[in-house]
Every structure is written in C-alpha cells, then in structure tokens.
Structure 1
C-alpha cells in the first residue's frame, strides 16, 4: 500500500469522481503532450508519429531556440513562441482541438495560418509575361529600325474625287508616319499634269488643285525624296485615285406640259428627271445643290434643293417681282440674280438690280449699291472660286465687289461687256468701249490685249475661257454683211485655233461652254430657225434646242441631247 495516500475508505461517488478525474487527465495529456507537469517537472514525452494520426511523416520538427522547457516558478506558461505538435498541425483539421492562448496549454498552429508557398503555375505566368513584354520590345525596336532604314511612309490619304471634277481647289492630303523635312514644289508631280499648290507641315502634305480635274481619269501624286525631320533615308510618297464619270443637268422646256430638269451621263442613256414645274425660267447647279427660278403669274419663285430634287425650300426675294440671270458661287455659298419689281413706273420700282444672298437662306437678300445707291446692272458674273462679283452698270462702269470683305466697290474703268472669267487665274476677258478685248487682272487692275488666234477667225461675239484655252463664237458674213454661217473655235493658250462646231445660215448657235476642267464642251444649237418659234417665257428661247457634247481633246462629238442650259455653263444663253 502506498504511503502517499491514506487508507481511507471511499464511497462510490468518490470513486466515480476519481475515475472521471483520471480520464480528464488522460485526455489533457493526449491533447498537450508537451504541457508542463503540475509540479514544474519535466515535460511528458511526445507521442509517437503513429499516434499523431495523419501528420506528415517527413515533416521536420524543431523546437524554437527561445523555447523554455520549464515554466517560471509561478507555474504559468510563458507567452513566447511555442512548438506545435504534429497533431495540431494536421492539414485536415481533424486532430485534437488547439488550446486557447488563455487556456492551460500553448495554442496549436494550423497549417492554414502559415503563408502558402507560391504555386508553380504563378511562376510560369510571370515567365510568360516577361517573354511577351520582351517580344513587344523587340518588335517595337524592329519597327523603329525599319522606319529609319526605309524612310517616311504614307499612313492616310484624304481626297474627294467627285468634288474634284466639279470645282477647283480640291485637295489630296497625305499623312505620313513621321514629321517631314521641308518639301519643295519641285519634289511633287501629278500625272496627268494639272496645276497645283503645295502646303506641307509636320506629318501632312497637302496638294491643292487650282483647276477641276478630268472625269473618269486615274491621277497619281508623287512626292520624291521625302525625308524625316530628324534625317535618315529618303523615300517617294505615292498615291493614286480615280475620278468618277461626269453627269450634267439640262433644262427641257415643253410647250404642252411641264418643263423638266434632267440629270444624265454623257451618253444620254441614263437621263432621269429631278424637278418639274409649269414654267422653269432658269437654273444653276453647285456641287451639292440646284437653284431653280420658277415663273408664275404673280412673279418669280427661287427654289433651292438637293441635286436629286429633294428637300426643296424657297428663298426670300427683295419683293414681288421677277428673277433672271441666275448664277452661283459654289465656294462662297451665294446665289446672285438680276431682279425687277413686278410693279414698275417711271418713278417707282426697281429694275435690273443685282441681288446676292446665301444659299442657306439664313440672310436677307442684298441689293448691290454703287455710291450709296442701288445700281441698275447691265451684265455681271461671279468670279470663279470666290464670292466676288464683277459687273457693268447701265452707265458702262466696270466694278468689282466682294461679299466676303468690307473693301467696298472697286472701279475698273469702262466696258461694254464681260466675256468670261478664267478659273484659277482671277483674270477676266472684257470688251472696252473702243471695241478692244483685253485680259484684265482683277487683283491689280493690269491688263493686256487678248491675242488674236492663228489662223485669225475675226472678232468673236462671245469668248468663254476654260483651263487651257477659250471657246470663241464667230459669225461669217457675206459681202452684204448677212450671216452665212456660225462656228465655235477652240483657241489654246498658245493661240492655235481649231474649228469645233460649224452650222449653216438656217441654224443658230445659242450657247457654248466647257466642262469645269476643259475636257468637254457643250454647244447649244437651235436648228431651222424659220420653223422654230420662240416661247413666251421671261427668257424667251426657241422651242426646239439641242445640246451637242464634244470631247475637246479629240474633237469628237459624244452625243446630241434635247435641251439647253447645261450645268457646266456659268450663265444662261444671251441674245
């Protein structure tokens, strides 16, 4: 019998309590095999690996260097880093519960509390990302080397071929991949040849055509020896574009029905009406719109519409009256016309005043004044590619006024008529009071006689300039001065004359004008005048008229169409 315990009889309850206490002690020992003994003695031996139930057999166990095997004399566990039993570090979390830091044993550390090592796939991602970035760097460097070794290249081209055949001043704009060194006009070529101006800065090269281009033609623009602003090799910048085939508008009056404006190609096989009215007096076309003068009993109406006849709107007139001699300034966005009040007397009303207004209809019509008074105009024309107007009043004074400036009226002497104004040159052909025909520079007022043609076909009744020459209407007369025939003569810039169209004494040439580029001519002929009565319109014309389309480069006639007033013409037929 042990001397540690007195031989005191125990009741059943005491024995049961002792057994339960022993069981609890066993459980505590199993949960914390390294907990200190109650008396501050040595720690209990750790459980074997087989008893840890699921711990990693290869896991290295190490007691931290600062672990103290014995607690302080107070018997309270030290709050330092403690070793955690393999069972408490089970990855399944099914081992014995870990003690709280306030409990009797050190807290167990789960493997989920430790920082997980970087998975191998994360390292693979970083390696792949680095490889991609390296490739991009190499590609960028390669492109830079290519750019430096090949010179500038075109990255964008801007051009409007349809507008280019309608008006002068259209552009081709080249954008390059780098800023360019200064470019001279001599480096630029256009094929087929056409006059141009150059505007180059930075990465942009702008080529502005000073005259309209031919239709159905491939143009090639080249800039030779272009170099980057920072130096390097040179390169030739080149681009090509093709212009569309031309279409024109013609007016066909019908004594028994509505008058119609037709749009057609140059074969006449695809003609289609775009506008019809009882009495169409005159019309003009811009690159985007039609302006039509309609005659009614109470006066004229001036309509603006799209080229297909849609979106019609009426422009405000200076009063109730009549409109004639319509012209348009495509570049300035203006329409001009001769206006007369319906009610006229010796003391009241306006007659043949020149009116200009915006095609948009946003402004009021403006009556042209000279010396502070409304001027009666005999003949007038818009200066192509501008908003300026050249006119002769009833006193024979030739004047110029520009709607886009405040310069006022500029006097240019006396004249009897204005034959025409060249596109892109700002040069007018006018006839002076003494009968001489001169080329008048509208920028500085200088002038020189118009050279005679070779051969000389005599004095022309009308002269219509076009890029590269003029169309001249001449009349042949017999010994008694009676007309024996008429002809349209082409005269190039060197003065060489070539007959284009000829008619006999029974026919009459009413109008001749060229396409914007000077590629074609439209000649209006009234056949058999003795049996071709005039209509009763404000602008009276023979009822039967034909428009002959001719290739000015070859002299060949393309087609003859019914109608007149081709949209290539700046003014209506004059008598």
Structure 2
C-alpha cells in the first residue's frame, strides 16, 4: 500500500500567512475605530446642509413660495418659527425626512440677496443642534410697454435695473397688446372700430391673424402671467328693435391651437362683461357681467362663483387677492376667496381728506390709488398717486407743478414697484387719434419704489405690463 506524504509549508509561507492575518485584523480594527470616530463626530457636530432648491423667479411673483433645504441625514421635527430671513420677511419652516421647507408669507423683492437661517436642527436620534443658513438672489420681471410713433408703433421689453430696450414687435396701428407665452398678441382697428387680433413671434418674425367668431371691436386683452391662455372681448352690435352691444368674453389657449371659445355664463350662454381680468398667477377669470354680477370663473372646469352685485370693474389686485369694483354706494375691495368686501375710504394725506379713484388693494389691505386733493376754495385740485396703509396716505407721485395728469398705473406682482403713466402737461390737448385706445402723444411711464416713493427709472411709452 502506497503512502501520501504531506509536507508542512515552508517557514516563509507560514510567516507570510500570519503576517497577513495580523494586518487584516489591524485594518478591520482601525476601520471600526474610524467609523466610531466619524459617527461620534457626526453626533457631536449635528446635521449638515447638503443642498438647497429655490425658484428665484417664482418667489418674486407670488406669496407662499418655498425654499427647500436638504440635510445630510434625517432630521427631527423643528419649530415652525425657528426661521429668520434677512432682509426681514415673515416665513415658517417644517421638516420631513431630510427636508426642511421654508415657506415665505409674501412675494420677495426683486434682484435682492436673501439669507435664510433655520435654528435648532437636530437628527432624529438626538444629539447637538445645528443652524442651516442659505443665501440666494431673486430674479426680476420684464416690463413691457407700447411706444407709438412714426412710421410704426413699437412693443418694447425692458428691465428694472438695466436700460436695455428690446423691440419685441413693430407695426402700424397697435391699439392694445399683451405678451402671452412666446408671442405677443395685439389688436388693430378700422375706422368703424371693427378689429383684428394678431399673434407675433419675436424670435421668428412670423405673424398670424386669429380667425374671430364674430365681427366687432376687439379689446380688453389679458393673458395668464405664465402659460398660454389669452382672453379678450368682442363687442358687436346685436340686431333688434333696440340694438345692444354684446361685449362677449372669449379665450384662446395658444398651446392647443387657435380655437377661440366663449366663456360661458351661469345660463350656459356666452358671458357678456363690462370688465374682466385673469387672476394673477392663475388661469381663473374675474369679471363683472352686463347683469351687474361679479363672478369668478374657473377656466378649466367652467365653475362660476358669484361674488356679489356690482356694475363697474376696475382691476384685480397685483397679488391676486381682491377685485376692485364699484356700485351706487362707491368703490369696494372684494376678497376673491369668499366674496367679502371692504368699502374704500382713503386715509388723510396730511390734513387733507382726498377722494379716491382707481385703486389696487393687496391682501394686507394696503392701497395704491389715484387720489384727488381739492383746494380750500374748491377752485383748484391736484391728482396724485398715493399709498394708503389704513392709517394715513402718503404721496408716491405727483406731476410737476400739478400741470400733468396721471393716466393709469400698474403695481408689480410683488407690490414693490408701481409703473405710473403720466401726461406731463394737460394744457395742450394732443392725442394720437387712435380709434379705440387714443393716447396723448407725450406719455412717460415712471417706475416708482412704493416703500420710498423714489423714481427708479422712466420710459417713453404707456400700457406698461409686468411679465
């Protein structure tokens, strides 16, 4: 019988194996120790901010926008009031998982650096608390306006902090215009006031005329601040023993073609209005019908909510919270969420009690309004644009030596600025003679900081729109 002989490994191999085992053991031990150290350091130092998300453009357009702060690990519930913002803005914070959401109570200022700090941030397992800080700079909107002249009228786009002047479209006889999506829509009118509606793409230079469902005066253009929905009225004479004007409200969604559809009233018939506007930041419509009813219309579902009886429509506030309307007893600010109204009684300017005209009223109840001051003798008066906080009014703008006239104004979406259309001198009547939307030949739009009353810039033109 044969025998198999097994020899022991050479001494060198045995030593190498023992050395490997010792090295491996020491490595594992070192890794365990290092892991413990890192865990201990993480526990002692608290959670860290790993990333953040904010839409710098949306945060200046509306309130309730959110800054999202992401931690490097799951965090415990935080105090909603543990957030501070510089410059100061009311905000609240909430947490879920590794996310802290900071919600702003108001739209932020344009082109401003904000720093947000959240204190008392701890992990779900406890340990030391951290403070998360994040800084960002907000965006600013474009300002569009119409500059009429020879040989063409020009639709201009500019900014708040630059003097850049971009001609978006140039053409003859522009009555009204509004940006919508990637195009601008504008109207023209014949001598009999019958109008056309045209879309112009500033990037391609292509224009197209929209096929309208009836012949008449095309007016009251408005569009959603974002998206592709355009609205307007067509006013045509209805035949009958006593002819009436229809003032029918239509919309067209440019992302879905060029089909023009009427907005339907409660009776299912096309809605006729004396005034209307999209609610800023939404696709909802607010209108005063020819039956003297203020309504809110959901353009998606068609749901109509009556908000009270009024016969005149001024505007929807820049922040979308209220509609300014009037009836036989005067002007009122109607809250769009529930229909409650507040009668507009202007606060004094110094020792004088002004009379109120066109008004914008935000959710806090602050007013920006045209006001008239009457001299002691009653023989003289001055027209001013004023800010009213409910206790007193202060003048934002008045013309030089009261020689001019404030024609119209539009508050920016974040209530920071107001664009004021001014005719510098009314002693000379000099209009451009347009059929539907005539304007003085000399009109300047001033951009005024509401907080300080300072004029930040001016442009030669009118019908200013914030987009």
Per the TM superposition, whether the score is higher than 0.5 is: yes
1:346 pairs with 231, 239, 247, which one?
A: 239
Q: How much does 1:219 deviate?
A: 0.9
Q: Which of residues 413, 416, 421 in structure 2 aligns to 1:524?
A: 421
Residues 519 and 552 of structure 1 are in contact (CA less than 8 Å); yes or no, is this contact kept in structure 2?
yes
Change (3 A) 1:289 1:150: farther
Residue 224 of structure 1 pairs with residue 119 of structure 2: yes
Structure 1 equivalent of residue 339 of structure 2: 445
1:265 to 159, 165, 188: 159
Change (3 A) 1:120 1:161: farther
Return the alpha-carbon distance in structure 2 between the equivalents of residues 130 and 259 of structure 1.
Answer: 84
TM superposition shift of 1:400: 1.6
1:566 is aligned to 2:464: yes
Which one scores higher on RCO, CA 8 angstroms, separation ≥ 6? 2
TM-aligned CA distance change 1:246 to 1:409, over 3 Å: closer
Choose from 470, 473, 476 the match for 2:367.
470
- Paired residue total: 453
> Who is 1:292 aligned against?
185
CA RMSD of aligned residues (A): 3.7
Asked if 2 retains the 8 angstrom alpha-carbon contact of 1:285 and 1:291, the reply is yes
2:64 and 2:173 map into 1 onto residues whose CA distance is: 35
- CA drift at 1:177: 1.7
Matched, 1:240 2:135: yes
Write the mapping of 1:235-384 to structure 2, written as runs, cut at 5 A. Answer: 235-244=130-139, 247-254=142-149, 256-266=150-160, 269-285=163-179, 289-295=182-188, 299-303=195-199, 305=201, 309=203, 318-319=212-213, 321=215, 322-330=217-225, 334-340=229-235, 344-346=237-239, 351-362=246-257, 364-370=259-265, 371-384=267-280
Give the structure 2 partner of residue 206 of structure 1. Answer: 101
Aligned to 1:100: none
Per the TM alignment, residue 121 of structure 1 is displaced from its structure 2 partner at its CA by 8.7
Instruction: Give per-residue Cα distances to partners, 1:142-182, cap 9 Å, x unaligned.
Output: 33222222222211100122333344443211111222222
Distance 1:393 1:290 in 2: 29
Which structure would you say has the larger Rg? 1
Q: Which residues in structure 2 correspond to 1:457-536 (within 5 Å)? A: 457-466=353-362, 469-476=366-373, 484-492=381-389, 494-503=390-399, 506-529=403-426, 530-536=428-434
Q: Distance in 2 between matches of 1:173 and 1:472?
A: 37
The answer to whether residue 462 in structure 2 is matched with residue 547 in structure 1 is no
Q: Structure 1 length normalisation: TM-score?
A: 0.68
Give SS of 1:186's match.
coil
| 1:101-160 per-position Cα deviation (integer Å, ceiling 9, x unaligned) | xxxxxxxxxxxxx99x97999998887777666655544433322222222221110012
Instruction: Kindly state the Cα deviation for residue 532 of structure 1 after the two structures are TM-superposed.
Output: 2.1
The offset of 1:268, in angstroms, is: 5.8
Residues 566 and 125 from structure 1, CA distance in 2 versus in 1: closer, same or farther, beyond 3 angstroms? farther
2:175 aligned counterpart, secondary structure: strand
- Residue 75 of structure 2 corresponds to 180
Residue 242 and residue 124 in structure 1: after superposition, are their counterparts in 2 closer, same or farther (change >3 A)? farther
Q: How does 1:78-227 map to 2 (within 5 A)?
A: 80=2, 137-196=32-91, 198-227=93-122
What is the alpha-carbon distance in structure 2 between the residues aligned to residue 278 and residue 128 of structure 1?
87
Counterpart-to-counterpart distance in 1, 2:409 and 2:69: 38
Structure 2-normalised TM-score? Answer: 0.83
Q: C-alpha separation between the residues in 1 aligned to 2:320 and 2:214?
A: 38
Q: CA deviation at 1:561?
A: 1.4
User: Relative to structure 1, is the Cα distance of residues 294 and 446 closer, same or farther in structure 2, using a 3 angstrom cutoff?
Assistant: closer
Relative to total residues, which structure has the larger strand share, 1 or 2?
Answer: 2
More off after superposition, 135-144 vs 268-277: 135-144
Inter-partner Cα distance in structure 2 for 1:546 and 1:354: 31
Residues 226-269 of structure 1 deviation map (CA, whole Å, 9 limit, x = unaligned): 22233222222221112246642222111x22222222233663
CA distance, structure 1, for counterparts of residue 263 and residue 463 of structure 2: 26
Paired residue secondary structure (1:518): coil
Matches of 2:38 and 2:56, distance apart in 1: 33
Q: What is the rounded CA distance, in whole Å, between the counterparts of 1:292 and 1:278 in structure 2? A: 14
Deviations along 1:404-451, one digit per CA (max 9) or x if unpaired, are 445x2222221132344345573333323322x333222222233334
CA distance in 2, matches of 1:261, 1:230: 60
Instruction: Give the Cα–Cα distance (whole angstroms) in 1 for the partners of residues 233 and 245 of structure 2.
Output: 10
Between the aligned partners of 2:81 and 2:143, the Cα distance in structure 1 is 36
Secondary structure in 1 aligned to 2:232? strand
Alpha carbons of 1:458 and 1:484: their partners in 2 closer, same or farther (altered >3 Å)?
Answer: closer
**Structure 1 SS opposite 2:167:** strand
- Out of 403, 421, 431, the position equivalent to 2:299 is 403
| Whole-angstrom CA distance in 1 between matches of 2:204 and 2:297 | 33
The CA deviation string for residues 369-406 of structure 1, in whole angstroms up to 9 with x for no partner, is 22121122101122233322221112212112122445
How far is the alpha carbon of 1:485 from its aligned partner? 2.9
